[in-house]
Structure 1
Amino acid sequence: MTEAFSASEQHARVHSRKSAGFLERLGDSTGGVIAGLCLFTLSVYLLFTNEGRAVRTALSLDEGLSQVVSLAADLSLDPENNNRLVHLSGKLQTGQPLYDPNYSVSVHAVKLKRQVEMYQWVEYTESRDFKENGETKTETTYTYNTEWKSEVISSRHFDQEVGHMNPSAMAVESVTVVAPDVWVGQLFLSKGLIEQINDFQTLSLKGFPVFDANTFLTVYEDYFYHTANPRRPEVGDVRVMFTYAGLSGDGLFPGPAHKVSIVAMQQGDKLMPYKTRSGDTLEILYMDELSVEEVFAKEHQLNNMKTWAFRVGGWALMFLGISLTTRIIYTLVDWVPVVRELVSLGLKMFALIISSSLSLLVIAVGWVFYRPLVAALITALALLPVLIGRTRAPFKKTQ
């Protein structure tokens, strides 16, 4: 895609401040201790609840797989499946095409999104600190570029607003239209299932006519431009792009109806959430034609990815919390160059080891009631640094 012409301006300012004294640095470190304790508490809560969520989700998926009923190929209604968990695959269907009257765009889909962008000034800042004549100075460089942005950027807070003023609102608003009724076969999708249809694709505008120049509306590279010259936009110009999700028509434009695979509870002629004995809700939709085994395999994989993402996030919060809590020790010795560097390295190693061990211990506690053997193995791994330290201590004494 050809990029529009972008203007750029730049200037810098230097601010001076007195170097922070020992008491001021100590006060900042004390605030860091409080923030560190809060982050540490949050990390423990996140790690512990994540393990319970992961186990509960896994048990719910296993329960669902053992009870799910795959519907016949014709997807006909069967009263015997009422209030049971069912699996089905088929084409999405909706009543009427979604239509945007402002741009004469019509698509037979579950969702149609109008995405609006405005050409605006954007301020970027970059700062560097340096010392001069016993003072700490900060040089801040302000760069102004003109870019297409989907949100209105207020220029009132710019360092240099003159010459970089943006409009206060867009002439056109972004909006998403959703089909009121969506069904597969003879079963209507719940609101939760419809919300999972988010495979948005750009609507190609090839073949659309170029509008009257007096309206300042031009079609260029899948955008409607509210400007006479899309390649040379001015601040305040607007462009509009349309995307769609879940094609449901059998026409040639923009393509055939999408097939989906669903696992949910059949309730009359509706697909609703299914509550498991473990407390989770099963309401699954994939934009593909999958067997029931493939659907649950993907859900287990998603659960594992989410579990590890929360584990890494919890460990990172704990590492940051311990680092902030022990920062006060560095402040006490930061006036001695050699000692300062050694203490800094030691505190980082301490935070790394302690956060890793404590994270594993919290995870182990989460598994005690579900799989005690797994909890014991994780606990042994968490205590490994302590065991290594105890075995090395007699060796050093012998030396």
Structure 2
Amino acid sequence: MFSPCLRGFPPGAPVSSHKSKDMQFSGSERDQHKRISSRSNPGFLERLSDTAGGMVVGVALFFLSFYILFTNEGRALRTAASLDEGLSQVVSLDPSSSLDYQYNNHLVHLSARLHTSQPLHDPNYRVVVQAVKLKRQVEMYQWVEYQESKDYQEGGETKTETTYTYNTEWKSELINSRNFDKEIGHTNPSAMAVESVTVVAPEVHVGPFILSKGLVEQINNFQTLSLKGFPPPDSSSFLTIDEDYFYHTPYPRKPEVGDVRVSFSYAGLSGEGSYPGPAQTVSVVAKQRGENLTPFKTKSGDILEILYPQELSAEEMFEKEQQHNAMKTWALRAAGWALMFLGISLTTRIVHTLVDWIPIFRDLVFLGLKLFALCVSCSLSLFTIAVGWLFYRPLVAAALGAIAALPLLIARSRVPAKKHQ
């Protein structure tokens, strides 16, 4: 544990060679500078070599897209089947009744308030909350470097003008100023005096049951702990409260680089008291195993262990899970198509490199290659999805296969037969 009074930087002790101000990008010489680098334009063989390297990456992305698209369809169908199976077997329990063992090893559903036996506390800041989780978030006032580059041609060379801008901001991660282009005057401390941490209640109850670790992990609806009316820190702790932060500085409105501030948030209120609010009601679907709620494995192979931070019926919970499954399926489909399009574009880029010294051909070939990549990636993506559906819904797979072949049929119909030429 830590103690605020053991501050790594007491008042008056410098933590940086530069005293910063909370400023916006100013463009002054101190906070912004430019650097220009140049390189000779690559020759034809060098460009061809770079393109060949891109082809290797393109082929890898091309085959990766097939894997993502095909496995995604199987996952989506398996999850949908598992949810249907779970909905047909789930038993809704009365949370106010005592523990009933007749549904032992069955999939059960209940909605009840969270309960923990002991509050969570951080004695160093005198924060006490009865909740499932208590998070301490630490931020340090640090220098941040931003880069903006632009290329231009001059004297047969490609020149890159990079603008480096420095600003002071509150950051939760430690920024290494040694990697800055201009470290002098923009030095950050090498460590934080306080660390971020999340404390979790050892045992969480819902009604007469104890939640499994997997269910507890799903309680993540964190809310900021308000410090309004919070007792002021001791004068010897070097702490200041401003809004919802503990500041390790007596001047929170004029921070210096290296100053630290701490905020707290909680998830899953589980006490009977009024501060900071009543116990939260959650809805759970899991397997009853004695007094514990544990994962339920379906015949389809998926694990059902569901928790929502609100009161929902079993039907509403399974409907939400089906919606999440559909959203994930479409997101992975889009990702698979994008990887296939990028892979085809990188693989065919060598054609563009061969003619890029002829301006009119270069533009036409670039457009043609993009259209080619678009058509082929759409067709192959639909075909891969159709194969994934083949063993589950043959009619849907046939329809998708027909749509996938449509661009090829259109292209084929536009090519005149040799006997008519």
Q: Does 2:36 align with 1:17?
A: no
Partner of 1:155: 177
1:6 matched to 2:23? The reply is yes
Is the aligned partner of 1:99 residue 2:121? yes
Match for residue 224 of structure 2?
202
Deviations 1:56-90 (Å, cap 9, x if unpaired)? 00000000011111002414211110000000000
Q: Deviations over 1:196-224 (max 9, x none)?
A: 00000000000013334553311111010
In the alignment, structure 1 residue 322 sits paired with structure 2 residue 344: yes
Question: CA, structure 1 residues 87+393, in 2 after alignment: closer, same or farther (shift >3 Å)?
Answer: same
- Give 1:253's aligned amino acid: Y
SS at match of 2:178: coil
CA contact (8 A) 1:224 1:241 kept: yes
Contact 1:75 1:88 in 2 (8 A): no
Instruction: Tell me: CA distance 1:97–1:330, structure 2 relative to 1, closer, same or farther (3 Å).
Output: same
Could you tell me how far 1:231 is from its partner in structure 2?
Answer: 1.0
Relative to structure 1, the CA distance from residue 107 to residue 42 in structure 2 (aligned partners, 3 Å threshold; closer, same or farther) is: same
Name the residue aligned to 2:376: 354
| Equivalenced residues, count | 396
Change (3 A) 1:204 1:22: same
What is aligned with 1:245?
267
Aligned to 2:52: 30
CA deviations on 1:128-149 (whole Å, 9 max, x unpaired) are 1111112111111100110100
Q: CA deviation at 1:386?
A: 1.3
Give the structure 1 partner of residue 313 of structure 2.
Answer: 291
Distance in 2, matches of 1:75 and 1:318, equals 55
In the alignment, is residue 133 of structure 1 matched against residue 155 of structure 2?
Answer: yes
Distance 1:196 1:361 in 2: 36
SS of match in other structure, 1:92? strand
1:172 aligned residue = 194
Q: 1:345 is matched by which residue type in structure 2?
A: L
- Are the aligned partners of 2:95 and 2:208 in contact in 1 as well (CA < 8 Å)? no
- TM-score between the two structures when normalised by the length of structure 1: 0.97
> What one-letter code is carried by the residue in structure 1 that aligns with 2:91?
V
Matched, 1:277 2:294: no
Structure 2: distance between partners of 1:145 and 1:119:
10
Out of 286-295 and 126-135, give the one that drifted further.
Answer: 126-135
CA contact (8 A) 1:16 1:137 kept: yes
C-alpha separation in 1, matches of 2:63 and 2:339:
9
Alignment of 1:106-125 (within 5 A): 106-125=128-147
Unmatched tracts of structure 1, length 5 or more: none
CA distance in 1, matches of 2:60, 2:172: 35
Contact 1:61–1:300 (Cα < 8 Å) also in 2:
yes
Q: Deviations over 1:73-117 (max 9, x none)?
A: 414211110000000000000010000011000001000000000
CA distance 1:197–1:397, shift in 2 (3 Å): farther
Query: Offset of 1:250 from its aligned partner?
Result: 1.6
Deviation at 1:5, TM superposition (A): 2.3
Paired residue for 1:367, among 364, 389, 397?
389
**Counterpart of 1:62 in 2: which secondary structure?**
helix
Residue type of the alignment partner of 2:23: S
CA distance, structure 2, for counterparts of residue 119 and residue 6 of structure 1: 12
Q: Partner residue of 2:329?
A: 307
Cα pair 2:282 2:310 within 8 Å, conserved: yes
Identity of counterpart residues, as a percentage?
Answer: 69
Which residue number in structure 1 is paired with residue 405 of structure 2? 383
Q: What is the Cα deviation at residue 41 of structure 1?
A: 1.0
- Mapped to 1, the partners of 2:38 and 2:298 lie a distance apart of 63
Q: Which amino acid aligns with 1:101?
A: P
Cα distance, 1:121 vs structure 2: 0.4
Relative to structure 2, which stretch is displaced further, 209-218 or 351-360?
209-218
- DSSP-derived class of the 2:169 partner: strand
Determine the structure 2 residue equivalent to 1:78. Answer: 100
Verify: 1:265 aligned to 2:281, yes or no: no
CA distance in 2, matches of 1:41, 1:322: 10
Q: 1:332 aligns with which of 327, 345, 354?
A: 354
- Return the letter of the residue paired with 2:364: L
Is residue 2:255 matched to residue 1:233?
yes
Show structure 1 runs of 4+ deviating over 6 A. Answer: 395-399
How many angstroms apart in 1 are the aligned matches of 2:397 and 2:32? 57
Q: CA separation in 1, counterparts of 2:305 and 2:232?
A: 44
Quote the Cα distance in structure 2 between the aligned partners of 1:141 and 1:212. 46
Question: Are the counterparts in 1 of residues 176 and 190 from structure 2 also a CA contact under 8 Å?
Answer: yes
Gaps of 5+ in 2: 1-20, 26-30
Q: Which residue of 1 aligns with 2:78?
A: 56
How far apart in 2 are the matches of 1:63 and 1:84?
12
Query: Cα RMSD between the aligned structures?
Result: 1.6
On the 8 A contact 1:204/1:222 being kept in 2, the answer is: yes
Amino acid at match of 2:326: N
